[in-house]
Amino acid sequence: MRSIFFKNKIHRCIVTGADVNYHGSITVCRKLMEAAGLRPFEFVHVNNVNNAVHWETYVIPGDDGEIILNGPVARLFQKGDPIVIMALAELEDHEIPGFIHTDVFVNKNNEVIEIVQNREKSIFKMDPID
């Protein structure tokens, strides 16, 4: 059986632009993508801290510090809004104990200030599955 788990996030990065005329996606600084382990075109969830809007899309690499909301959702995210970008992973039961998720914390310029990695087994004590 496969279960869905939190894989990684970029916590409270700041929107630097919104382009309603682009065909969709979120542009994320390449350095932040690398720090969080995000790949180009990976599916992500985006939450706007200011208005609770939740959006699902894919990531495209951007320039240093860039966080740009593209497409119609640009009407719901504004420059300066703090957001959380999250990716999920589907895991088999045997993959869960060694699974590591990553939290990337940034400053107001979308520069990495801390990376925290946690193993699921340190959070949940799990008995082996036969």
Q: Is 22 a catalytic residue?
A: no
**Which tokens hold the place of 11?**
């916590």
59 by Cβ neighbours in 10 Å (0-12 / 13-18 / 19+) ranks as buried
106 by Cβ neighbours in 10 Å (0-12 / 13-18 / 19+) ranks as buried
Greatest pairwise CA separation for the chain in angstroms: 52
Spot the catalytic one: 3, 22, 25, 122.
25
DSSP-based three-state secondary structure for 119: strand
What's the half-sphere exposure (Cβ side, CA atoms, 13 Å) at 14? 12
> Which residues participate in catalysis according to the annotation?
25, 58
